Amino acid sequence: MSRFIILCGGTGGHLAPGIAVGQALIKEGHSASFVISNKQVDSRLMSKYSDLHVIKSPGIAFPKNPLRILKFFAELFKAVRLGLKTMSAEKYDVLISFGGFNSLGFSIAAWLSKVPIVVHEANRKAGKATRLLGLVAERIYVPYGVKIRNRDISKIKCSGYPIRDEIRRQPPEPAREKFGFDRDAKLLLVLGGSQGAAALNNWATENFGELAKNKIDVLCVCGQGKSKGEDIAAEDADGAKHRLKYMEFCDDMGTAMSAADVVVARAGAGSIAEFARCAVPSIIVPYPYAADNHQLENAKCFEKQGACVVVLQENLGKMLKEVLELFRNEKLKAAIRKNLNRVDDLNDMSKIVRDLAEIAARRRRE
């Protein structure tokens, strides 16, 4: 049995694949600890996994305001100190980083402790954490077709996105009932990611009347503190009532995606992979201010595979037309689902788990 420590805090996009890999390692008889941030979103996402060993680490993102740089380094020092203490006490064999601001402190501690570092990059453009940790990493996992310049090519392996077991396609009728909709409802799911997206929330609210006229109900997962208030009801031309339901947080995304006929969402790598796993057609709106514009790169790749429709945020005024067309066009939805199944075939994390076990075994032999 090998011991792994997994850095996966900050957002759902970092946390979800960390949980998936950790659970797979545990199934193989290894042990895994999970390092998350102090953000509320991390605690809430982890609350349903009470059997997992969780460590909360200090840390903040590198600030744009120079007045907060001292705060950044103070938090980083605390994280390194906690990491060194943890490494010494638990004798981990491998550290696995899924990126984000929370990954640096414990990674420095692992490097100082001579614990092998493995990095997983989910996006089509490698983030700052991946580029930095890639200098000292023993292995770097990247999406298929992605390259990282000036890194030892022998350390880089292509992999899919690790997906939790609970994210899977389910029968849509009972899934809709679970969220309070009729079994035969036509349902649009609007997702802003683990932190919400004001632009998508506003779009759902402003366009619900027209969606209801077209017999479409809406489930809007709007993010912590971003609810628009009470649910909204509207009638179609036949007098039947339809509903826009707001949820600040959803911890059962597999069921939510299975309930939906169409999803409108941001272009996080995790969301895209989960749409493929649940075979739900999507309209992707890349977040225009994402670091290195990585969401646009994610969306373009997904669209090129015939697995989604992309609408830029500057063109949100035209998105209603795209949504209605996707609901009406059964042939297009069927083609997208076929392509989604092909994309999902790439998200097999068994290669990652085997490779991690081999790296840990080499470490234990040293």
Residue 257 clears pLDDT 60, i.e. is over it: yes
More confident residue, 75 or 126: 75
Predicted local distance difference test score (pLDDT) of residue 146: 80
- Report residue 365's pLDDT band, with 50, 70 and 90 as the boundaries: confident
Q: How many separate domains does the chain show?
A: 2
Query: Which string of DSSP letters, residue by residue, matches 231-281?
Result: -EEEE-TTS-EEEEEEES--S-HHHHHHH-SEEEE---HHHHHHHHHHT--
Q: Confidence class of residue 44 from pLDDT cuts 50, 70 and 90?
A: confident
> 201-231: per-residue pLDDT in tens?
999 999 999 999 999 999 999 887 666 678 8
Query: What is the distance in angstroms between the CA of the first residue and the CA of the last residue of the chain?
Result: 15
**Tell me, what's the pLDDT at 316?**
95
**Contact indicator for 186, 217 with CB cutoff of 8 Å:** yes
Strands 262-265, 309-310: pairing is unpaired
338 and 239 in a single domain? The answer is yes
In the predicted model, is pLDDT for residue 294 greater than 80?
A: yes
Mean pLDDT, to the nearest integer, of 246-250? 90
223 shares a domain with 318: yes
Give residue 251's pLDDT.
87
Instruction: Mark whether 154 and 241 lie in a shared domain.
Output: no
Residue 198, domain member (yes or no): yes
pLDDT tens digits for 301-330? 999 999 999 999 999 999 999 999 999 999
245 and 358 part of one domain = no
Paired residues of 233 in beta bridges: 243
- Quick check: is 102 in a domain? yes
Beta-carbon neighbour count of residue 43 at 10 Å? 14
Q: Place 193 in a pLDDT band, splitting at 50, 70 and 90.
A: low
341 CB-contact burial (10 Å; exposed 0-12 / middle 13-18 / buried 19+): middle
- The whole-number pLDDT of residue 195 equals 59
| Residue 66, pLDDT score | 85
pLDDT of amino acid 272 = 95
Cross-strand pairs, 97? 7, 119
- In a domain, residue 269? The reply is yes
CATH number for position 33 = 3.40.50.2000
**More confident site: 329 or 40:** 329
Write out the H or E segment, with its range, that includes residue 129: helix 128-133
pTM value is 0.91
Residues 357 and 299 in one domain: no
In this model, does residue 149 exceed pLDDT 80?
Answer: no
For residues 12 and 61, membership in a common domain is answered with yes
Mean pLDDT, all residues of the chain? 92
Domain-located, residue 144: yes
Return the percentage of the chain with pLDDT > 70, whole number. 98
Is the same domain home to 251 and 282?
yes
Counting beta carbons within 10 angstroms of the beta carbon of residue 29, is it exposed (0 to 12), middle (13 to 18) or buried (19 or more)? exposed
Which range in 39-48, 143-152, 309-318 is most confidently predicted, on average pLDDT? 309-318
**pLDDT bracket for residue 153 (50, 70, 90):** confident
pLDDT digits (tens, 9 = 90+) for 104-115: 999 999 999 999
Tell whether 278 is covered by a domain. yes
Domain around 50: 3-162+347-365
The CA distance from 132 to 197, in Å, is 28
Q: Quick one: 97 and 191 in the same domain?
A: no
Instruction: With a cut of 90, say whether residue 124 has pLDDT above it.
Output: no
- pLDDT value for 322: 97
Distance CA 182, CA 311 (A): 29
Residue 167 lies in a domain: no
Same domain, residue pair 35 and 176: no
Q: Are 196 and 107 within one domain? A: no
Conformation bin of residue 196: beta by default, left when phi > 0, alpha when psi is -120 to 50: left
For residue 62, give Cα distances in angstroms to 75, 112, 126, 264, 345: 11, 22, 17, 30, 36
Same domain, 107 and 76: yes
Edge-to-edge strands of the sheet including 139-142?
53-56, 31-36, 3-7, 94-97, 117-120, 139-142, 156-158
pLDDT at 152 over 90: no
Claim to verify: residue 178 and residue 323 sit in the same structural domain? yes
DSSP code of 123? S
Residue 148 lies in a domain: yes
Q: Is residue 52 part of a domain?
A: yes
